[in-house]
Amino acid sequence: MPRNKGFVLASRPTRDEPAGPHNFKLIDIPVGEPDAGQVLVRHSYLSLDPYMRGRMNGGKSYASPQGVGDVMIGGTVGEVVASANARFAKGDLVVGMGGWQLFALSDGRDLRKIEDNSIPVQAWLGALGMPGVTAWMGLHRIVEPKARETVVVSAATGAVGSVAGQLLREAGARAVGVAGGPEKCAYAVAELGYEACVDHRAENFAELLAAAVPKGVDGLFENVGGEPFQQTMRRLNPFARVAVCGLVASGYDGTPTPLPDMRALLDSRAKMEGFIVSDHMSLWPRALGELSALARNGKLRWRESVAEGLESAPAAFFAMLKGGNFGKQLVKLS
Amino acid sequence: MPRNKGFVLASRPTRDEPAGPHNFKLIDIPVGEPDAGQVLVRHSYLSLDPYMRGRMNGGKSYASPQGVGDVMIGGTVGEVVASANARFAKGDLVVGMGGWQLFALSDGRDLRKIEDNSIPVQAWLGALGMPGVTAWMGLHRIVEPKARETVVVSAATGAVGSVAGQLLREAGARAVGVAGGPEKCAYAVAELGYEACVDHRAENFAELLAAAVPKGVDGLFENVGGEPFQQTMRRLNPFARVAVCGLVASGYDGTPTPLPDMRALLDSRAKMEGFIVSDHMSLWPRALGELSALARNGKLRWRESVAEGLESAPAAFFAMLKGGNFGKQLVKLS
């Protein structure tokens, strides 16, 4: 029997000791045999996503916190290596929520079979997975972009933002990205459908943003928070729509992301809505159908940052939270 | 010919000199004769409303600013005393936007004839006028209250809030008011449909609010801003809806009303939307129809603060902005 290993949450971040790799512990875990109804999956890729940082906290959030001592939550793709479930056979490729470990037992309810072999499996964790569906849902449920409208997307080259830019291009809207550094900005414009991209590290960010949105901002897809978010809110047009998808810049560490003046919302009669992709599972099939059709037609591109081996997951995770990744952050497990 | 008088905006508030009666100037104005298509209206009541404070500023807002030297904008009811417009006859009672003056000439486009004589005319400036329609629209377009949900309304006994409480009662929701002082709070519960009302002047406001919303907050109708607003945002339930109607506590004076942490919006997946009642004129007939039906059935109550005479308007206006009124603030002009 092969050996399983995984990372558990060993402790929660505190005010005095910010989150870091010390909060995780690598342990040996029995691989186990599938009971009736179960399957055993060997993971090939683990997805690292900003929401995981929120789960490390103990406080109230939209999801129950990750239990201390439990294997860290995480999306995975892998291969069924043993099955006692009639829906799955040995050799099936599946996407699921196997967590930060090499193998996982599942009752099958979290697993979806990958039927389309024309697309690299790890894409089902990125552009064709939770991040891609997140982009689709924030745009279609909240921003509702119309042709020629200006829509700003933060973390424009991240797993969510890179899909959002391309969906906006397909909708005929003018996508303006916000990203960290000239290399990411150049990529956003060259490959991801953005008509402009502003570097949030630039000292004159506010000026650069103003120049990039000469007709104001009709929609905002916010993944980050912080000062760039506040500057973008100041440029909202009447009846603008703001999808609040994430606040990775500050929110997860307990640093508040303030909105400095609610008056912007009143003057613009804007709508602002927080959303979580898992609240709307009924929309997933439609979203995945549209995204995979775009991918098959060569109209959806993405980029990956791949860390090698389970042991690299904690460092890769914290680097991603600081914007160190370029595209979808994955860990190759086998 | 009688003499007309009115208040013009003489100067705008500045950072060094906050808004006050000195910004207005009482002048003599010719009464004038109606040209073809015009009517002359003698006003009986002028409505004083928080939005007027915003119009005094020169900066960007949802409306073009009030011109310096022009008669202050304002809703009025009055009687047609001369008509050269086929739609109106001498003696007709009309509601319109005649401004802070005793008489107004109008081409009739802003005038609506009052057909229902069973209701005191000044109600068409309050519960059955712009404030009442504002309450109806914020609730029906944004908050969408369901039976047994908890909805908080600030300025609960004001012209808008007093209607909101009663509409929430009709919808079977649990209305919780926020108002200034025990007298207003007692009135909100006794007369306006609120099941509880919290005094925002109380030192332990946050505790009192928490006790008044034991099941959290499903909807918020915000008229004021400031600390009570921020405390209410902390109690939002998942999928809460927040209608931002006004920010009288701070926003109009240029003091920002911050939202201290956007994370509340993300964690609760709440929707927050600013709105202006004049953006949705097509909904007015339905709103007024429902409100006047409630009034005729004795299911809609209101209270008025009436200042006597045009000269009292500036002082009454600034007292209202500080919560000195109790119910709809009016000025009796004739």
Q: What is the mean pLDDT of residues B31-58?
A: 93
Q: What is the pLDDT of residues A71-84, one digit of tens each?
A: 999 999 999 999 99
A54 and A185 both lie in a single domain = no
Q: Over 60: is that where the pLDDT of B205 sits? A: yes
Q: Is pLDDT at B20 greater than 70 in this prediction?
A: yes
B231 — pLDDT class (breaks 50, 70, 90): very high
- Is residue A9 a part of any domain in this protein? yes
Give percent of chain A above pLDDT 90: 78
In a shared domain, residues A260 and A217: yes
Is 90 exceeded by the pLDDT of residue B58? no
Residue B249's pLDDT is 60
Q: What is the ipTM of this complex?
A: 0.84
Q: CB-CB: which of B257, B268, B276 is closest to A274?
A: B268
**Interface check B1 vs A, CB under 8 A:** no
Q: What number is the average pLDDT over the span B318-332?
A: 92
Instruction: Report the relative pairing of strands A4-9 and A24-29 from DSSP bridges.
Output: antiparallel
Q: Is A263 on the interface with B (CB under 8 A)?
A: yes
Q: Within 13 Å and on the Cβ side, how many CA atoms surround A251?
A: 29
- Residues whose CB is less than 8 angstroms from the CB of residue A151 and which lie 6 or more positions away in sequence, other chains included: A139, A143, A145, A168, A173, A174, A175, A176, A217, A218, A219, A220, A221
What does DSSP assign to residue B11? S
Quickly state the pLDDT bin for A66 (edges 50, 70, 90). confident
Q: In what helix (H) or strand (E) does residue A230 lie, and over which residues does it extend? A: helix A227-233
Q: How far is CA A291 from the centre of its chain?
A: 15
Task: Answer yes or no: do A80 and A142 share one domain.
Answer: no
> Rounded to an integer, what distance in angstroms lies between the CA atom of residue B124 and that of residue B143?
24
**Average pLDDT of the segment spanning B267-296:** 93
Residues of chain B with C-beta less than 8 angstroms from the C-beta of A265? 244, 272-274
Closest listed residue to residue A322, CA positions, set A14, A47, A16, A20: A20
Q: Which domain holds residue A186?
A: 130-278
Does residue B187 sit in the same domain as residue B111?
Answer: no
Q: Are A264 and A316 members of one domain? A: no
CB distance from B210 to chain A under 8 Å? no
pLDDT for res A219: 98
Q: Which of A257, A268, A275 sits opposite B262 (nearest CB)?
A: A257
Looking from the CA of B25 toward its CB, the CA atoms found within 13 Å total: 11
| pLDDT at A2 (0 to 100) | 76
What is the residue-wise DSSP string for B92-144? -EEEE---SBSEEEE-STT-EE---TTS-GGGGGTTTSHHHHHHHHIIIIII-
Beta carbons of B41 and B75 less than 8 angstroms apart? no
pLDDT at position A250 is 57
Residue from A192, A225, A231 nearest A210 by CA: A231
In angstroms, the Cα distances linking A235 to A169, A220, B270 are 21, 10, 22
Which sign does the torsion angle of CA A54, A250, A187, A206 carry? positive
The token pair at A184 is 């990411």
Distance from CA of B169 to the nearest CA of A (A): 26
Q: Which residues of A touch B266 (CB under 8 A)?
A: 62, 244-247, 251, 274, 276
| CB contacts, 8 Å: B276 with chain A | 266, 269
Same domain for B117 and B67, yes or no, is yes
> pLDDT at residue B188 above 80?
yes
The answer to whether A35 contacts chain B (CB < 8 Å) is no
In a domain, A290, yes or no: no
Q: pLDDT-based confidence at A287, cuts 50/70/90?
A: very high
Q: Which residues pair with B175 in a beta bridge?
A: B151
Contact state of B261 with A258 under an 8 Å Cβ cutoff = yes
What average pLDDT does the segment A281-308 reach? 95
With a cut of 70, say whether residue B146 has pLDDT above it: yes
Q: Which residue has the higher pLDDT, B227 or B100?
A: B100
Q: Note whether residue A99 is domain-resident.
A: yes
**DSSP character for A21?**
G
Contact status, residue B254 vs residue A263, Cβ threshold 8 Å: no
Task: Specify the amino acid at residue A320.
Answer: M
Q: Model pTM?
A: 0.88
Long-range contacts of A17-25 (CB under 8 A, 24+ apart): A18/A253, A19/A53, A19/A56, A19/A252, A19/A253, A19/A318, A20/A318, A21/A314, A21/A315, A21/A318, A23/A56, A24/A72, A24/A100, A24/A313, A24/A314
Outline where chain B has alpha helix (H): 51-56, 130-137, 159-170, 182-191, 205-212, 227-233, 263-268, 284-296, 313-321
| Banded pLDDT at B252 (limits 50, 70, 90) | low
Q: Which two tokens stand for residue B97?
A: 């936007």
Q: Are residues B206 and B135 in the same domain?
A: yes
Q: Is the pLDDT of residue B32 over 90?
A: no
Q: What is the pLDDT of residues A41-65, one digit of tens each?
A: 999 999 999 889 988 988 665 567 7
CA dist B238 and A273 (Å) reads 12
Q: Cα–Cα distance between A68 and A71 in angstroms, integer? A: 8
Q: Is the pLDDT of residue B212 over 80?
A: yes
- Residue B260 pLDDT: 76
Q: Is residue B296 part of a domain?
A: no
| pLDDT at residue B162 is higher than 80 | yes
Has residue A260 got a pLDDT over 80?
Answer: no
What's the alpha-carbon Rg for chain B, to the nearest Å? Answer: 20
* % of chain B with per-residue pLDDT over 70: 96
**In this predicted structure, what is the pLDDT of residue A24?**
98
CA distance B105 to B94: 12
Q: Is residue B285 part of a domain?
A: no
| B265·A244 Cβ contact <8 A | yes
- Of all residues in chain B, the percent with pLDDT exceeding 90 is 79
Closest chain B residue to A248, measured at CA: B263
Residues of chain A with pLDDT > 70, as a percent, come to 96
The answer to whether A150 and A217 are in contact (CB under 8 A) is: yes
Measured distance CA(B184)–CA(B192) in Å, rounded: 10
- Domain total in chain B: 2
Q: What CATH number is attached to the domain comprising B96?
A: 3.90.180.10
Distance from CA of B252 to the nearest CA of A (A): 9
Phi, psi of B311 (to 5 degrees): -60, -25
Average pLDDT of the segment spanning A74-101: 97
The whole-chain average pLDDT of chain A stands at 93
Same domain, residue pair B33 and B106: yes
In this structure, what token pair is assigned to residue B188? 């909100």
Nearest by CB to A268, from B260, B262, B274: name it: B274
Interface contact A258, partner B, CB < 8 A: yes
Assess if residue B284 is contained within a domain.
no
Quick one: pLDDT at residue A62?
Answer: 58
Q: What is the average pLDDT across A91-120? A: 95
The whole-number average pLDDT for the span B308-323 is 95
- The one-letter amino acid code at A70 reads D
Q: Does B268 touch chain A (CB under 8 A)?
A: yes
| Residue of A166, A270, A161 whose CA lies nearest to A218 | A270
Three-state SS at B43: strand
**Of residues B185, B128, B199, the one with CA closest to residue B157:** B185
Residues B135 and B63 in one domain: no
Residue A287 maps to a domain: no
Residue that wins the pLDDT comparison between B160 and B253: B160
Tell me if B117 is assigned to some domain. Answer: yes
Give yes or no: residues B106 and B197 share one domain.
Answer: no
d(CA B250, CA B222): 13
CATH code: domain of residue B232: 3.40.50.720
B30 pLDDT exceeds 90? no
Q: What amino acid occupies position B157?
A: T
- Spatial CA neighbour of A147 closest among A175, A177, A171: A171
Q: Are residues A109 and A198 in the same domain?
A: no
Q: CA-to-CA distance for B199 and B71, rounded, in angstroms?
A: 36
Span B4-28, average pLDDT: 94
Q: Residues A98, A169: one domain? A: no
Choose from A272, A275, A278 for mutation: most chain B CBs within 10 A.
A272
Residue B261 — pLDDT band, cuts 50, 70, 90? confident
B267 → closest Cβ in A61, A272, A273: A61
Question: Stretch A161-169: mean pLDDT, rounded?
Answer: 97
Evaluate if residue B182 carries a pLDDT over 90: yes
Give the model's pLDDT for residue B254. Answer: 62
Once rounded to an integer, what is the mean pLDDT over residues B108-127? 93
What span, in angstroms and rounded, lies between the C-alpha atoms of A304 and B167?
53
